[in-house]
């Protein structure tokens, strides 16, 4: 810099342009190339993994919501600029509309695709444009970040803030990487622009001083700029809500600011340097009025939904505008009547509380909606259902932290490690900057009261974090969490500060805005993508204060008059903020006290990939090509009436044409089914149908599952397929999520699973926990999705395998606890020769059960009559790292040898399995031993895994030896019907006929069996034919070799030799 300064300083006048030296021009515009460099770096980081998302010409995305945005964008491309008014291709059998999709975000992406595609983009091009959209919007977020930071701290510091944003490796980066094409990536840009516009409007109002008299006199010259900037701010806020309707939260944030600021202005206007309330009130009223009017344009619902374009997005801005005018008028009235200024505090905040109370009484539903969503978004109190969404987990939830490996050496959740991983030191320095921003005005003027207040406030906040016990006790008394008490304390301190000192209108708004973002980010982890720009801005402010302290105002002056201590101070601050964790990886606590490395943005960007969709892609493609098109099931001809990109009127319960059907799965996979298979899912990531899906997947028997479907509108019974992946059927993965939603009985996780810990004796004589697994209760095995995934609908008999545990005293997080632990002798699994022996053992040991691991039930599980396996994915669950980790935990707890760990798997352990719900073929027969069991068995082949399984069903014959059963698997005629006829081209086919056996009789030295073989046509199974399959069992008598004789006749019940998929587990020490 010194050499550059010298070279510029000796330039002649001929080298100067337009009266400005090159150095002057550089000083004026250096931020432009600097921003370009940062933008290029951010774009490179975010697009590194582009090739991973384009496979064989097909574009794939990460996450769930991106796929539904693809559908919305494709619709708008075909119907530009319209967005989809209603979508019956999800949430069968009702259909849905979603305000968060088909918004301005989708319109912008569709417009870009139309431009790039010269008016006729291909589907692949549309996908590619959407693919890079989050990266582009992520880069654009530097614009409002820079603009806001510049208003607070100057250009140089603002560039530092932009650099901080570019280096943050947390949620903001993840949401703006290529492939994560959700609206989340665009939200920080639009919110940032709205906040910047509001700051400009507030700043102009403070400078131009609009008052009521100017309005009465219609002095538009004086009101022009305050009006224009406020209107632009209102429009910017509306644009943000057009992208994301729940962005109405920003209106609530601004309303909170208006209440605090106008109260402060009235109280401090006389005895400090404050301004009259009318300036801020004018800007607020104009801005919010424009917002409300603009939100009338996309209005779709006359309800008060925060997630839709509803009256809430219209009336709340009008309410804030009215409140601003009302507070300004009240201030005038107090001033005219010379009322004590301190009484205005009671009037303003008391009036706000009265208004909330009136709303709760007059419109309790509206109040409940608003209060519930506030609690869920910024109230640290996300409900159990919300917490089944990974991105909605509390940011520092101990459970989530431990699952993610953020655990200290003492077993505690490592909150600091999580923050360092996402922010480095920048969150801590941002908090320090915010505290200084809030404290600085208190140290101005009469420092006595202000300084004392600041010291007391800082001490209280310090106590909140260092000695949380009293605050936790207070929270428990009010039935809330300590975070709410902390938030209330901080809010109270800020309000108190504003009535002691006048605050700059822009900086006060930034403080209020940032406080809400911190609450949102710590309530739900996803909202950290909002917090990141605020963190960057606060770090810019911090550097700006340092530069101000060093008296550094411009780059030119710095270059010409730089002092060594100034350079060292600035360099030290910058390096302390960005080096640890951002530029240079650092170690944080890991699982079991093992350290883990943080990731830089370039490393995180290079490791980006599409994730779980690729594991489902094969199964979704199979469904698209091997099942009937929607509208053609059973031979119906209504496909044209149910177009994939059709325009449909909004309805609460859509009238589906004949031949349409639903696909049942967990709600996580709904968008993948809609877009990847072009079929209609029963549940989706909007959590629509989640309760019904849980009731179905956890149904304890087939009739309960059917009842769940039939209760869903008129077409619920038309659910035809079920897709289950290993995560849904595996404890420790997603199995627990449906339990939260299940409402057909009062059940909890403990009704399905029992946690057992592996306990190891320590060297010092104590014991410690080394592993954990879930022993599966009978209710787990009776659940519909378990019977599908593990048994493929077949009956399953228990085996003489016992899981044993006992109460063990051990050390956990520094305390002595009693847990269900492995027995002291290490024999967790005990195997017996007969079921009688196993039952006798369990009867005498209350901390043991038959089965409970892998596919081994405690009691017999009957067959399903109307479900058949039709496809499995070639990729295996065993390829997933999370599956292997869970299996290793189980193997270690059960002390199973590594080579025998496959006994814990389903057979086959395919990633995804697809089932068809069929009418089934009715089999009627005779010739069985009266009142004894009749068993039908058929071997079936799975080509994807080159394995076989046996479907078994058992019924009881009547007193005449007659019987009937419904069989879901065909044995012949697979080519007789297919997708073109409205039926399925199943991949799973029989290797022979059904073997039907009906009891055994012993007489003398002979044995007599009653059996037959029969074929079952595909047409009968799928309902294309109503014929009944008839079979008559024939006797077959043969000598019982090795029997010396005897007399009399004995009948024994036929028992199926069905075993769980895979070999029985072999313990290191087993009792046989």
pLDDT in tens, 741-790: 999 888 889 899 999 988 877 655 566 777 889 999 999 999 999 999 99
Contacts of 653 (CB under 8 A, 6+ apart): 93, 94, 95, 713
Q: Which of 993, 997, 975 is nearest to 985 (CA)?
A: 975
Helix axes 248-268, 187-208, angle to 10 degrees: 20
Q: Which of 502, 505, 501 is nearest to 449 (CA)?
A: 501
Q: What Cα–Cα distance (Å) separates residue 241 from each residue in 215, 251, 825, 895, 1065? A: 29, 10, 63, 56, 57
* Distance in angstroms (rounded) separating the CA atoms of residues 993 and 940: 10
Tokens of 1019: 């047409």
**DSSP secondary structure letter of residue 583:** I
Which contiguous run of DSSP H or E holds residue 1049? Answer: strand 1049-1052
**HEC string of 634-688?**
HHCCCHHHCCCCCCCCCCCCCCCCCCCCEEECCHHHHHHHHHHHCCEECCCCCCC
3-state helix, strand, coil in the chain (%, to 5): 50, 15, 35
pLDDT at 1059 (0 to 100): 36
Phi, psi of 745 (to 5 degrees): -160, 160
pLDDT at 11 (0 to 100): 41
Tokens of 912: 């995804």
**Average pLDDT taken over every residue of the chain:** 86
Q: What Cα–Cα distance (Å) separates residue 167 from each residue in 30, 281, 542, 547, 736? A: 20, 38, 17, 22, 36
**DSSP secondary structure letter of residue 775:** E
Number of other CB atoms surrounding residue 13 within 10 Å: 7
Alpha helices, DSSP H, located in 770-853: 778-782, 784-791, 835-843
* Distance in angstroms (rounded) separating the CA atoms of residues 943 and 626: 15
Which contiguous run of DSSP H or E holds residue 940? Answer: strand 933-942
**Residue ranges of domains in the chain, CATH in brackets:** 2-28 (no CATH), 922-1052 (2.60.40.3390)
pLDDT at 411 (0 to 100): 63
* Distance in angstroms (rounded) separating the CA atoms of residues 963 and 1030: 10
pLDDT at 378 (0 to 100): 82
Bridge partners (DSSP) listed for residue 593: none
The count of C-alpha atoms lying within 13 angstroms of the C-alpha of 712, restricted to the half-sphere facing its C-beta, is 29
The answer to whether 260 and 121 are in contact (CB under 8 A) is no
The answer to whether 991 and 946 are in contact (CB under 8 A) is no
pLDDT at 1061 (0 to 100): 44
Q: Which of 377, 374, 308 is nearest to 530 (CA)?
A: 377
pLDDT at 1066 (0 to 100): 42
Q: Which of 244, 247, 327, 315 is nearest to 284 (CA)?
A: 327
Over the Cα atoms of the chain, what is R_g?
34
Q: Which of 728, 676, 615 is nearest to 66 (CA)?
A: 676
Which segments in the chain show pLDDT lower than 70?
1-21, 23, 26-27, 270-274, 381-388, 390, 403-405, 409-411, 445-447, 479, 552-568, 570, 578, 580-581, 585-597, 762-767, 811-814, 1041-1072
* Distance in angstroms (rounded) separating the CA atoms of residues 747 and 468: 34
Alpha helices, DSSP H, located in 117-208: 123-140, 142-153, 155-167, 171-175, 187-208
Angle at 908 between CA 697 and CA 869, to 5 degrees: 50
Alpha helices, DSSP H, located in 52-116: 65-78, 104-116
> No. of H helices and E strands in the chain?
38, 26
Bridge partners (DSSP) listed for residue 559: none
Helix axes 426-439, 505-523, angle to 10 degrees: 140
Number of other CB atoms surrounding residue 358 within 10 Å: 11
Q: Which of 665, 660, 655 is nearest to 628 (CA)?
A: 660
Q: Give residue 982's region: left, alpha or beta (phi > 0; psi -120 to 50).
A: left
Angle at 1062 between CA 1056 and CA 1067, to 5 degrees: 110
pLDDT at 896 (0 to 100): 85
pLDDT at 631 (0 to 100): 94
pLDDT at 1063 (0 to 100): 43
Angle at 555 between CA 551 and CA 560, to 5 degrees: 85
SS3 at position 956: strand
Q: What Cα–Cα distance (Å) separates residue 75 from each residue in 124, 187, 645? A: 14, 22, 6
pTM, entire model? 0.88
Tokens of 259: 């209440």
The answer to whether 1008 and 1037 are in contact (CB under 8 A) is yes
């Amino acid at each position: 810099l010194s050499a550059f300064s010298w070279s510029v300083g000796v330039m002649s006048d001929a080298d100067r342009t337009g009266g400005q030296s090159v150095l002057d021009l550089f000083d004026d515009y250096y931020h432009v190339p600097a921003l370009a460099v940062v933008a290029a770096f951010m774009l490179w980081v975010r697009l590194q993994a582009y090739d991973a998302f384009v496979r064989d010409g097909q574009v794939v995305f990460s996450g769930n919501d991106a796929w539904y945005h693809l559908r919305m964008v494709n619709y708008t491309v075909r119907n530009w600029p319209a967005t989809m008014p209603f979508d019956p291709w999800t949430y069968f059998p009702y259909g849905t509309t979603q305000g968060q999709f088909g918004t301005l975000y989708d319109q912008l992406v569709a417009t870009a695709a139309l431009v790039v595609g010269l008016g006729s983009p291909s589907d692949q091009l549309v996908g590619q444009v959407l693919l890079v959209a989050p990266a582009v919007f992520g880069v654009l977020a530097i614009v409002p970040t820079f603009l806001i930071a510049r208003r607070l701290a100057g250009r140089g510091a603002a560039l530092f803030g932009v650099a901080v944003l570019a280096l943050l490796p947390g949620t903001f980066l993840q949401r703006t990487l290529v492939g994560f094409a959700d609206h989340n990536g665009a939200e920080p840009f639009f919110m940032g622009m709205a906040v910047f516009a509001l700051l400009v409007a507030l700043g102009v109002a403070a400078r131009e001083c609009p008052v009521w008299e100017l309005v009465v006199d219609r002095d538009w010259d004086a009101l022009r700029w305050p009006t224009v900037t406020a209107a632009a701010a209102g429009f910017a806020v509306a644009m943000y809500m057009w992208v994301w309707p729940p962005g109405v939260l920003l209106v609530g944030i601004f309303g909170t600011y208006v209440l605090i600021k106008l109260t402060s202005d009235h109280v401090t206007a006389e005895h400090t340097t404050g301004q009259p309330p009318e300036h801020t009130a004018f800007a607020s009223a104009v801005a919010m009025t424009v917002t409300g009017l603009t939100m009338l344009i996309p209005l779709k619902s006359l309800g008060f939904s925060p997630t839709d374009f509803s009256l809430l997005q219209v009336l709340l801005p009008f309410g804030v505008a009215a409140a601003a005018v009302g507070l300004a008028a009240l201030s005038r009235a107090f001033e005219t009547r010379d009322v004590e200024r301190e009484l205005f505090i009671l009037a303003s905040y008391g009036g706000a509380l009265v208004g909330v109370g009136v709303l709760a009484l007059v419109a309790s539903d509206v109040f409940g909606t608003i209060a519930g969503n506030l609690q869920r978004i910024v109230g640290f109190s996300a409900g159990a259902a919300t917490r089944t969404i990974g991105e909605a987990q509390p940011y520092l939830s101990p459970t989530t932290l431990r699952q993610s490996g953020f655990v200290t050496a003492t077993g505690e959740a490592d909150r600091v490690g999580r923050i360092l991983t996402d922010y480095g030191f920048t969150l801590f320095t941002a908090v320090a900057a915010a505290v200084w921003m809030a404290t600085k005005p208190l140290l101005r003027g009469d420092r006595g009261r202000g300084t004392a207040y600041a010291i007391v406030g800082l001490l209280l906040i310090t106590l909140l974090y260092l000695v949380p016990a009293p605050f936790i006790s207070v929270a428990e008394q009010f039935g809330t969490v300590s975070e709410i008490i902390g938030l209330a304390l901080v809010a109270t301190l800020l309000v108190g500060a504003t009535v002691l000192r006048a605050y700059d209108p822009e900086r006060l708004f930034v403080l209020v805005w940032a406080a809400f973002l911190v609450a949102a980010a710590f309530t739900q982890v996803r909202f950290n993508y909002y917090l990141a720009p605020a963190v960057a801005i606060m770090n810019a402010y911090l550097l700006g204060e340092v530069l101000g302290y060093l008296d550094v105002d411009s780059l030119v002056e710095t270059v010409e008059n730089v002092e060594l201590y100034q350079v060292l101070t600035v360099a030290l601050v910058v390096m302390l903020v960005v080096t640890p964790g951002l530029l240079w990886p650092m170690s944080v606590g890991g699982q079991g006290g093992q350290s883990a490395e943080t990731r830089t943005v370039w490393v995180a960007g290079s490791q980006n990939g599409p994730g779980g969709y690729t594991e489902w892609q094969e199964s979704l493609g199979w469904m698209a090509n091997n099942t009937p098109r929607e509208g053609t099931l059973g031979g119906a001809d209504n496909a044209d009436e149910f177009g994939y990109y059709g325009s449909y009127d909004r309805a609460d319960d859509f009238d589906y044409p004949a031949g349409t059907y639903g696909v049942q799965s967990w709600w996580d996979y709904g968008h993948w089914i809609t877009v990847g298979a072009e079929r209609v899912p029963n549940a989706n990531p909007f959590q629509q149908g989640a309760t019904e899906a849980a009731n179905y997947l956890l149904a304890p028997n087939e009739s309960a599952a059917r009842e769940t479907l039939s209760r869903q509108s008129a077409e619920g019974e038309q659910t035809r397929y079920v897709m289950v992946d290993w995560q849904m059927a595996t404890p420790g993965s997603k199995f627990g999520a449906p339990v939260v939603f299940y409402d057909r009985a009062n059940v909890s996780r403990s009704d399905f699973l029992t946690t057992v810990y592996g306990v190891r004796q320590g060297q010092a004589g104590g014991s410690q926990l080394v592993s954990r697994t879930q022993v599966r209760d009978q209710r787990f095995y009776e659940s519909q999705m378990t019977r599908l995934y593990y048994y493929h609908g077949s009956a399953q008999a228990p085996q003489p395998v016992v899981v044993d545990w006992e109460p063990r005293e051990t050390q956990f997080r520094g305390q002595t606890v009693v847990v269900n632990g492995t027995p002291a002798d290490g024999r967790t699994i005990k195997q017996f020769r007969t079921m009688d022996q196993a039952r006798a053992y369990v009867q005498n040991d209350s901390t043991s059960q038959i089965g409970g691991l892998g596919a081994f039930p405690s009691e017999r599980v009957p067959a399903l009559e109307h479900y058949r396996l039709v496809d499995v994915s070639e990729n295996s669950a065993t390829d997933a790292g999370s599956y292997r980790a869970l299996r290793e935990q189980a193997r270690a707890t059960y002390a199973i040898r590594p080579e025998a760990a496959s006994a814990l798997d389903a057979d086959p352990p395919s990633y995804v399995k697809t089932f068809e719900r069929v009418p089934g073929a009715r089999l009627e027969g005779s010739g069985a031993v009266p009142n004894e069991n009749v068993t039908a068995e058929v071997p079936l082949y799975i080509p994807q895994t080159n394995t076989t399984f046996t479907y078994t069903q058992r019924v009881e014959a009547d007193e005449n030896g007659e019987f009937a059963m419904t069989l879901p698997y065909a044995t012949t005629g697979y080519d007789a019907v297919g997708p073109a006829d409205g039926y399925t081209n199943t991949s799973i086919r029989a290797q022979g006929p059904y073997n039907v056996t009906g009891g055994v009789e012993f007489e003398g030295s002979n044995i007599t069996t009653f059996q037959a073989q029969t074929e079952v046509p595909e047409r009968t199974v799928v309902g294309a034919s109503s014929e009944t399959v008839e079979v008559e069992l024939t006797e077959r008598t043969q000598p019982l070799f090795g029997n010396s004789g005897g007399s009399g006749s004995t009948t024994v019940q036929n028992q199926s030799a069905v075993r769980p998929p895979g070999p029985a587990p072999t313990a290191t020490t087993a009792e046989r």
